[in-house]
Amino acid sequence: MKMTKLIGIAALLFLVQYDLLSQEGMKLAYDVPAKKWTEALPIGNGNLGAMVYGGVEQEHIQFNEETLWRGQPHDYSNKGAGNYLAEIRQLLTDGKQREAQDLATKEFMSEPLKQIHYQPFGDIHINFDGHEKYSNYSRTLDIENAISNVSYKVNDVAFEREVFSSFPDKVMVVHLTSSKSKALSFKIWLDAIHEDKQLKTSGKSQTLEVKIKDGVLKGVSTIKVDTDGIVEVEDGKLKIVDASKATIYMSAATNYINFKDVSGNPYQQVSETLKGIESKKFGKIKKRHIKDYQSLYNRFQLDFGDNGKSKVTTNKRIYDFWKDPNDPQLIALYVQYARYLMIASSRPGSKPPTLQGLWNDKIKPPWFSSYTTNINLEMNYWPVEVTNLSECHEPLFDFIEDISKTGSIVAKEHYNAEGWIVHHNVDIWRGAAPVNASNHGIWLSGGAWLCSHIWEHYLFTKDKEFLKENYPLMRDAALFYSQFLYKDPNTGYLISSPSNSPEIGGLVAGPTMDHQIIRALFKTIVEASAILETDHDFSEKLKTILPQIAPNKIGKHGQLQEWMEDRDDPENHHRHVSHLWAVYPGKGINYEETPELMKAAKQSLEYRGDNGTGWSLAWKINFWSRFKDGNRAYKLLNILLSPAEVPERKIRGGSYPNLFDAHPPFQIDGNFGGASGIVEMLLQSHLDKIELLPALPDALADGTVSGVCARGGFELSFTWKNSVLQEVEVLSKSGENCTLVYNNKMVEFNTKPGKKYKFDGFLNKQK
């Protein structure tokens, strides 16, 4: 009895110690201020984001509001483009690719050809006179509380700065304190890199207005100071003196309402937001922020152990990981950081994260900082369901609804078809037509791929009402493809033409990727219509079309063919591996049903090699996890988590000092895709069963995960030691039948909603 009690106390002490270690470890930490944007630390609440540099003499906080873009409401479709569809197809059939591309460039592309840039909003500057000589500097991003923190000492006075962006109160908050009364003095002002800007300072507030060049949008941002010190106006800046604490609240808005309406009143919106917090103290706002954030963040926990490297600054950890990839806690941090970025950039009511998420500091950002739908937008959402952030998926569903409206116009004008279509790139005005260049802009699978996210959300949640509400979006996308598919005169198969295999090979007829995604959508519609007991005739029509679609083929090199013709080059190491879509995120190619195709897909991946840009590395990690080769996946993870800016490391891709993914430059999809690949090593549920530790690498031999989700409406927690499963707990949310698989053993059992089921490492059921 006494021994049991002692063991219990020891276990409790261990858990307390682990919890403290875990909390300390789930931070990005630095001992110097940021000099570059990719060293600054991101915060966000879905629509208002910022990059915090953490300077001492001058703090710089660069901020964004998600609806500030160039351009104006616009229909990108090319009227009459459909008149040239048959001719383009015939040219491709005749092997005249150049002529087909030239004709498509002239007659088939969007109007205008290029899309519109996402814009930075402005900057907060805070000057601290007399802080040139400082000590004990620390800069962190606490991803368990979503707060950026800076602390240091000047002489014997300790200064601290907290910055966060609150979702419940819709404001960004900067809270400054000093350990000595009346020791805090500073100047603060707003600015922007836009040419057309105005600044108005009054009382304890300052307002910045920016007008976008080449566009109809304007943005308004106001900062308001609450302090126990004295507030003055000096040289157009707010000057605070003799304070011990000060809190700056900021709100920002634009006149954007939706992709067709720009009649909003940003002044009114900003004023009402700031008025809504007038009666609230900083402590209450901070508490509401943390509670809201943790309601999402705390659902999922991941621990691979800590060998002490979590005490090292994050930038050094990234460098050290390149040399010696033995930092298991960094892997867990990377997953949780991706979840942090998702919560910060995709909340109900917000827009989806762009290529750069919510964060952009350039008037002309890379690739317009837009929504690239030939993988990058979808990759952003790969970890959402499995890491228990289902609500964060909602902005993507809103996006799909928007694009189905503009995409229906494009379907009609470009393809003489019903339903809707979206090509490879979209901006805030929801242009769905092919953009930029015909050799890569005419890509047809975007609508079908986006619809797979609707289906995945249903599979993970088993929310039948959600499926019923969103089924028309999937059905209308399938309607387009059912009319668009074209009978290839050379083979007799139905093919996708014209199109391309992103972003390689130019304009072609019948890329493998298209057929895989369209086939998956049709199968989804057949299954969904049966669940909802609707649309029987259309479902039957798709059943007759499915076997007519050109199948996956194995080429002369043993590879999965990327095109109809067997022309893959084994020496081609292109970053895109689009024809493996059916391996991941699809499931049409798998070891159980199509082992030969799985072997060919693996051969294709071998040929493409292990190098790649950030998001490409992330995709390959998911591939190797599906191939159940955890050590190969971990090898790529080593590259993804290595420093992006070390000259002697002659490999593209990697991570910046703030753990942002480097394409390069920064693209956030690698963060999200890398996280999903790590979780894919631990659990896979795409084949109507839950496989535990299917691709566990040797480097992650010990670990615990809780709150990880599986298709079928299940939430799991499990532990492993020395690469051997120890115990499993399954929470059934929907009462579906469950199948667990581990180490060639399978157990099937019925479940009830809300009930937990426990098993040991041999999958023996426990009471």
What type of residue sits at position 692?
A: L
Q: Are 630 and 666 in contact (CB under 8 A)?
A: no
Q: What is the pLDDT of residue 24?
A: 56
Residues of the chain with pLDDT under 50: 1-23
Q: Running DSSP on this structure, what letter comes out for residue 351?
A: P
SS3 765: strand
Model confidence over 378-395: pLDDT tens digits?
999 999 999 999 999 999
Rounded Cα distance between 55 and 33, Å, is 5
| 123 beta partners | 62, 191
Rounded Cα distance between 409 and 671, Å, is 34
Q: Which residues contact 281 (CB under 8 A, 6 or more apart)?
A: none
SS3 629: coil
Which residue is it, tokens 């040797």? 698
144-147's contacts with Cβ under 8 Å and 24+ in sequence apart are: 144/23, 144/26, 144/27, 144/294, 144/297, 145/290, 145/293, 145/294, 146/43, 146/289, 146/290, 146/293, 146/297, 146/340, 146/343, 146/344, 147/43, 147/286, 147/290
The token pair at 385 is 């369901």
Q: Are 543 and 480 in contact (CB under 8 A)?
A: no
Q: Are 524 and 450 in contact (CB under 8 A)?
A: no
Number of CB atoms found within 10 A of residue 41's CB: 26
Rounded Cα distance between 94 and 396, Å, is 39
Q: What are the backbone angles phi and psi of residue 88, rounded to the nearest 5°?
A: -65, -45
Rounded Cα distance between 400 and 10, Å, is 52
Continuous segment of H or E residues that includes residue 459: helix 446-461
Number of CB atoms found within 10 A of residue 233's CB: 13
Q: Are 209 and 217 in contact (CB under 8 A)?
A: no
Model confidence over 631-657: pLDDT tens digits?
999 999 999 999 998 888 877 789 999
Q: What are the backbone angles phi and psi of residue 118, rounded to the nearest 5°?
A: -70, 140
Q: Is the dihedral of CA 512, 514, 517, 518 positive or negative?
A: negative
Q: Which residues contact 548 (CB under 8 A, 6 or more apart)?
A: 493, 494
Q: Which residues contact 418 (CB under 8 A, 6 or more apart)?
A: 408, 411, 412, 476, 479, 480, 483
How are the residues of the chain apportioned to helix, strand and coil, as percentages rounded to the nearest 5? 35, 25, 40
Q: What is the pLDDT of residue 628?
A: 98
SS3 186: strand
Q: Are 690 and 635 in contact (CB under 8 A)?
A: no
Which residue is it, tokens 């809190």? 247
Half-sphere exposure of 725 (CA within 13 A, CB side): 26
214: nearest Cα among 355, 361, 116: 116
Model confidence over 412-438: pLDDT tens digits?
999 999 999 999 999 999 999 999 999
Number of CB atoms found within 10 A of residue 623's CB: 24
Q: Are 43 and 344 in contact (CB under 8 A)?
A: yes
pTM: 0.96
